[in-house]
A and B are shown apart, each in its own frame.
Chain A
C-alpha cells in the first residue's frame, strides 16, 4: 500500500520537524540565576534615607517605569521583578545590600546603584562574582574601564568629559583667560577639576589663577565668591551642587562680579537653580547638557518630553517632575529595557554585558536632539556627548555642535 506508506512518511517527517523546531527553541533559551521564562530579577541600591536621600526619587521613578512595562506585558513576555534596597549612602551598608541581592535574592544584575563611594565599595565584589553592575548612577570616570572591570558600566557623561569641553571652548575663544574655580571637596568636585586641568593641558594650567573648595556641609559659599572676585579672574568655573550654585549666581550679581560663568551640568536646572537665583542674574551663563530640562519651555511640545510627562502623570503622580532625578531615572530605565529586549531569550549575565556593550546610536527621547548612546567592547561610556548652552531670557539656548569627549578610566 504505497499511499499509506507515503502518508506515514509525511507524518513522521512532520513530527521530526516539530521536534527539531522545538528543541531548537529550547536550545536558544539560556538563563543565569535571576532570569526565567516568566521573570527577570533586577537589583538596585539607593539612598532612600541618610544625607543623600534626595536622590532616592531616581529609584522610585525606575520602579514606576518597570511597573508600567510589566502592565504592558513585560519584556519578551517576562515580567521585571525590581528589588530595590536602601544603603543610606553608607559604603559598608552598600556591600551588605549588594551581597543580599546577589547571594540571597539571586538577581540577574544590579542596575543603577547610586553614588561614587557606594559603587566603589562593591566594584571589586561585583566583578569577582561576574554579576553586571550596570549603568551606575555616578559620573565618575573610573566606571569606563572594560579591561580591568568588564562587569561595570556607567551611563551619564562622566564629569571629566564635561569640563574638558569647557576647557576646549576656553582655549579656542579666550586663550588669555584668567580662570577661577570653585569646587565641592569630594569625588565629584575633584573629578570635574581634573577634567578641566587635563583639558587645559600643560600650557593652559597656568591660566587657572585660583582654586577654591568648600565642604558640602557648609551653610553658604558667599565668602568664597567675594574672595574669587578680589583676585580679578575673568572666567569662573562653577563646580557646585544646586543649592550652592543658586547662592553663587545671586552673590555674584550682588557684588557686581561679571566673569564668563561656566556652570556645571549638575546644577543647570532652570527650576531648582536659575529661577530661585533670579533670571536676570543668570543671563549669559554657559553650561553643557545631555538631557532635556523639564522646566525649560522650549520642550513644551516635544514628543519625547510629552511622553515623559504622561508617564509621570499616570504612573508616578507623587513624583516631582522638576526634580532632575525623575527624568534621569526614566531615561536610564528605558536604556535597561532596550538592553534586555536585545538579549532576547539569552538572559545570561555575559549576554547582558555583551548587549549593553553593543548599543548603536540608541536614543531615549529625553536626551537632547543629536545625542546618541553608543557603546562597544572597549567603550563602556554610554553617553559621552554634550552640547554647550547659554542662558538667555528664561531658558537655555543650545549653541555649537554636539561635542564628544570620551575619557577612559
Chain B
C-alpha cells in the first residue's frame, strides 16, 4: 500500500511536457517500418505473438489514457476487455456479423459500460478506486458463467470463433492478414489517442490529474472529464478485447481473470506511465517475459518473473520512457 501511495503522492508523470506524450517523427517512421516489415521474415507463430503484442498494446494504451492522462487507477480493465471480446465473439458466431464490423460495436458497448462505471467511481480516488475496479475484474468471470446468458456466452465452455481469411483473394496467410489488420487498427487508435491528449479535453484531463481543485477552479467540469476518460479507456479496451478474441479464436471466462488486469497494469508501468509509445514495450514485456522466465526454471517461473520485474522497477523506475529519453539524448549529441 505504501508503494501505491508513493505513486499517488510523487506523481512522476506530472512534470512531463505534453509534446513528450508521443514519439518524434523520425522515430515514429522507423517503428512503423519495422512493424510492417517484421512479419515478412517471421514464422507464422511469431506473427501470431506479434499480433498479441499489438492487441495488448492497445489495451495498455487505453489504461495509459486513464491513469497517465486523467490520473485515475484501474485494476478492472480485464472486465472491459472481456466485454469487448464476448461482444465480438457473440456477434460473429451467433449473429453472423463480419468481424471488422463487430469492433466498433464492441468499442461502443464498452464505452457505455465504462462511462456508467465512471459515475459511481467519481466518489472514489486513488487506492479506493483501484479496489472498486478490482471488484469489477473479479466479478466478470462469474457474470460470464451465469446460466441466464449461457445461450449466448456458451457458459463455462466458452465460444469458438472462426478465423477470418484475407479479403479480395490477397495472397496472405490468415495470420499475416490479421496482423496487418490489427496493425492498422492500433495505429489509428494510437494517433487518435495522441490527438485526444493534445486536445482541449486532453488538457482538461491532465489538469484534473495534476490538481483536481485547481482544475475545477479554472472551470473544468471534473465529473464530466473523469467519466469521459473512463468511457474512452473502456471503449478502446473493448476494441482490443474484440481483436484478441478474433486472434485467439476462443473466448472463455478463464481467459479474463484478474491476472489479465494485473498484466495490463504491469505493462503500463514497464512501458512508462503516461507515455503512450511505451504501451507497445509494456505489451511485449507481458507477452515475452513470462516465456523467458519459464526458460530459466519451470517450478520457479513466477519467482523469476518477479525478480525481472523488481530489477526493471529498480533500474528503470520510469519504464521504457527512460531508455527512450537516454537514446534521444545521444542522438542529439551526435547531431551536434
Contacts and interface: CB of A to CB of B under 8 A. Distances in A.
Interface of A: 48-51, 53, 56, 59-60, 84-86, 88-93, 95-96, 99-100, 102-104, 116-117, 120-121, 123-125, 142, 185-187, 190, 215, 217
B44 A99 contact: yes
Given A121-B252, A186-B156, A99 B298 contact: no
A49 to B, nearest CB: 5
B300 to A, nearest CB: 9
Given A51-B257, A120-B157, A187-B157, A99 B252 contact: no
A385 to B, nearest CB: 26
Given A117-B158, A121-B250, 15 more contacts: A50-B259, A51-B259, A53-B302, A59-B298, A86-B301, A90-B257, A90-B259, A90-B260, A91-B254, A96-B45, A96-B287, A120-B252, A125-B249, A185-B145, A186-B145
Contact of B254 (A59, A89, A185): A89
Interface in B142-180: 142, 145, 155-158, 160
Contacts of A215: 142
A247 B260 CA distance: 30
Contacts of B301: 48-49, 86
B168 to A, nearest CB: 23
B255 interface: yes
Given A49-B301, A91-B255, A217-B138, A120 B160 contact: yes
Contact of B158 (A89, A95, A103, A120): A120
Given A117-B254, A120-B250, A92 B298 contact: no
Contact of B294 (A48, A92, A99, A121): A48
A18 B155 CA distance: 63
Contacts of B255: 90-92, 117, 121
B294 to A, nearest CB: 5
B45 A100 contact: yes
A339 B145 CA distance: 38
Contact of B45 (A104, A117, A185): A104
Instruction: Sort A-B residue pairs by CB-CB distance and give the 8 closest, nearest first.
Output: A99-B45, A121-B250, A187-B156, A103-B45, A117-B254, A117-B252, A49-B302, A91-B255
Majority DSSP secondary structure for residues of A touching B: helix
Interface string B213-246: 0000000000000000000000000000000100
Contacts of A90: 254-255, 257, 259-260
24 contacts: A48-B301, A49-B302, A86-B290, A88-B290, A90-B254, A91-B254, A92-B248, A95-B48, A95-B249, A96-B49, A96-B52, A99-B45, A103-B44, A103-B45, A117-B156, A117-B252, A117-B253, A117-B254, A117-B255, A121-B255, A185-B145, A186-B145, A187-B156, A215-B142
Pick the most buried of B52, B287, B298: most chain A CB atoms within 10 A of its CB.
Answer: B298
A103 B290 contact: no
A93 B299 CA distance: 18
Given A92-B248, A120-B250, A190 B155 contact: yes
Interface of B: 43-46, 48-49, 52, 138, 142, 145, 155-158, 160, 244, 248-250, 252-255, 257, 259-260, 287, 290-291, 294, 298-299, 301-302, 305
Contact of A124 (B44, B48, B160, B259): B160
Nearest to B150: A190
Contacts of B157: 116, 120, 142, 187
A51 B44 CA distance: 29
Contacts of A117: 156, 158, 252-255
B125 to A, nearest CB: 27
A28 B59 CA distance: 53
Contacts of B244: 92
B309 to A, nearest CB: 13
A99 B301 CA distance: 20
Contact of B48 (A88, A91, A96, A187): A96
Contacts of B44: 99, 103
B51 to A, nearest CB: 10
Contacts of B291: 85
Contacts of A100: 45
Nearest to B301: A49
A56 B298 contact: yes
B164 to A, nearest CB: 14
Pick the most buried of A50, A56, A91, A92: most chain B CB atoms within 10 A of its CB.
Answer: A92
